Amino acid sequence: MNFLNELTILELAILLRNKEISAKELVQHYINRINQLDKGERGLNSVAEINPDALSIAEEMDKRGFGGFGLLAGIPILIKDNINTADCMHTSAGAYALSEAYAPYDADIVKLLRAKGAILLGKTNMTEFADYMTKDMPRGYSSKGGQVKSPYQRTENPSEFSSGSAAAVSANLCTASIGTDTCNSIVAQGLRNGLVGFRPSMGSLSSRGILPISFTLDTPGTMTRTVTDAAILYSELTNNQLKLSNVIDLNDVTVGINEWRKADLTEEEVRKTEKIIKELEYAGANLKRCQLAASENVGLLMKYEFKYGLNRYLSELPEEFPLRTLKDIINFNKEHKEIALRYGQNYLIDAEENTSGTLEECAYQDILSDRAAACKEVRSQLMNIDVCIMLVRNNIPHYTGLPSITIPCGLYENGMPFGIVLTAKTDAQLLGYAYAIEMIAGQRVDPLPGEE
C-alpha cells in the first residue's frame, strides 16, 4: 500500500468517503510501517507506543460513517508523549520517572481531535522533559524511549524535542502528528526532518493537559508534509476555516528578510537562501530587510515557570502515583541513576534549588516586563511586512507569541533536509503566505521512497 505514502489529509479523506480504503486499513498500513521501519537496531525509534485501541476505533468509525465530521475523520495522527490522553497510553514526557504515569484527563488538543473523528495512532518519543532535563543530553534522547534517529541519515540527529513526532511524519508512519513547542521544538524539527512544522500564535490552541515547561511559551502545534495539511489541522482544531488561494501571486506582498546573525550562515545556506529570495522577487514580492534579534531571557523564563508548572501538573495525577513534585522526580532519578541519569539532571536541580516555584521573584517579573516591551517592538518592525523569512533560527517569535512555520526546500549536499522559517503577525496571514511560498520554492523530499 505504498500509494498511501505522502498522500495529504484531503486526498485520504476522499478515499475514505468513497470507500476506496477503510479507516481500519489505513491504521493497519501505518502500524505495519511502524513495525517495519521504526523498530529494531536500524529503526527510527520515533514511536513510543501504539494505541492498542486504534484498530477498534477505526473499525467503529468505518461502521458509523464519516458524515457529521470534518476532514480529520478517520485520519491517523500521532501525539507527542507529553500530551495527556486519558486512555490506556502513558504520558511520560520521555522520563523513566514517569514511565508508568497515566493522565487523568485528555489534553484540550486531544479532546478536539477525538471530537473531529481523528484516530489517535499512538505516542511519539521525544527529548526527555522536552530538553529541560540537562545541558548535555543529546537531542532526541530520553531515559524511557532511547534515541530517535533521522529518517534521512540514521547517523544524524533528528534535532530538538519533538523529534519522534517529526521523524514519524517524515517517514510516513502517520498522516500528521501533534508536537509541542516551547522554544523552537516544532520549528527546528520541521527544518531537520523535511516537514512543515507549524507553531501557531500563543493562545490559538490550548496547552491545558500538556506537561509544562513554561506556560508563557508552551503551545501545541502540527507536523505535516504540506502547508495545506497544516491549514486543515488548524482550521479543524480552531473552527476557523481558512481558504488558501490557488493563485501564486506575490505582487504587492512585502516579504521581510530578517538578517540578524546572517554571517552565521554557511556558504551552502547562503546560496540556497539567495536562490529562494530571487524566486520570490520574480513572483512579484517586495523585499524589506529587518533586524529581529533573539531574546536572552527565554531560558530564564523557562527556569522560573518550570517548577511552578510541573508541581501543579504532578499534583493532578492519580493519587496512587507516588511522584508529586519536582523534588520527588529528582530523588527518583538519583535512586535509578543507571537508567535515569545517563546524562545528568542539572536543569531539574537548578529549577528546584534556585527558584521558589511561586513566581514571586523580582527577576521573573522583570522578564515579563521585558517580554511585553519585546512584543511591542517586534510588532512595530513587522507593521509593514506581510511575512518574514528568518535567515537564522531565532527565538523571538516564540518569546513574543508570534506564529512560525517551516517550508522544506530540498536537501543539503549531505542529504539532510534544508528549509526556511517564516513568521507573520497572525496565523491566517502566515499560513496563506506560506502556501504561496511553498508553491514557488518548496520541495518536500520523501526520505524513504518505496520502502514498505
From 207, 24, 159, select the one nearest 199 (Cα to Cα).
Answer: 207
State residue 335's pLDDT score.
Answer: 98
- Distance from chain centroid for Cα 103: 20
**Model pTM score:** 0.96
Distances in Å between the Cα of 387 and the Cα atoms of 67, 130, 403 are: 37, 28, 11
Question: For residue 293, what is its C-alpha cell?
Answer: 534579534
The SS3 assignment for 441 reads helix
- Distance from chain centroid for Cα 348: 23
Per-residue pLDDT 10s for the chain (452 aa) are 778 999 999 999 999 999 999 999 999 999 999 999 999 888 999 999 999 999 999 999 999 998 888 999 999 999 999 999 999 999 999 999 999 999 999 999 999 999 999 999 999 999 999 999 999 899 899 999 999 999 999 888 776 667 899 999 999 999 999 999 999 899 999 999 999 999 999 999 999 999 999 999 999 999 999 999 999 999 999 988 887 776 678 999 999 999 999 999 999 999 999 999 999 999 999 999 999 999 999 999 999 999 999 999 999 999 999 999 999 999 999 999 999 999 999 999 999 999 999 999 999 999 999 999 999 999 999 999 999 999 998 999 999 999 999 999 999 999 999 999 999 999 999 999 999 999 999 999 999 997 76
From 262, 304, 254, 215, select the one nearest 392 (Cα to Cα).
Answer: 262
State residue 247's pLDDT score.
Answer: 63
State residue 333's pLDDT score.
Answer: 98
Give residue for cell 512560525.
404
- Distance from chain centroid for Cα 199: 7
On whether the CB atoms of residues 306 and 186 are closer than 8 A, the answer is no
d(CA 426, CA 316): 33
On whether the CB atoms of residues 432 and 304 are closer than 8 A, the answer is no
d(CA 168, CA 162): 10
d(CA 323, CA 213): 17
d(CA 145, CA 124): 9
Give residue for cell 518569546.
399
d(CA 303, CA 134): 12
On whether the CB atoms of residues 22 and 62 are closer than 8 A, the answer is yes
d(CA 423, CA 70): 28
Give residue for cell 531560558.
299
The SS3 assignment for 217 reads coil
DSSP 382: T
Residue 151: partners with Cβ closer than 8 Å, 6 or more residues away: 44, 158, 167, 170, 171, 193, 447, 448
Q: What is the dihedral of CA 207, 212, 214, 215, to 10 degrees?
A: 30
- Looking at the DSSP bridge assignments, the partners of residue 80 are 124
State residue 157's pLDDT score.
Answer: 73
d(CA 323, CA 314): 7
Note the maximum CA span of the chain: 63
d(CA 199, CA 182): 9
From 105, 102, 104, 125, select the one nearest 114 (Cα to Cα).
Answer: 105
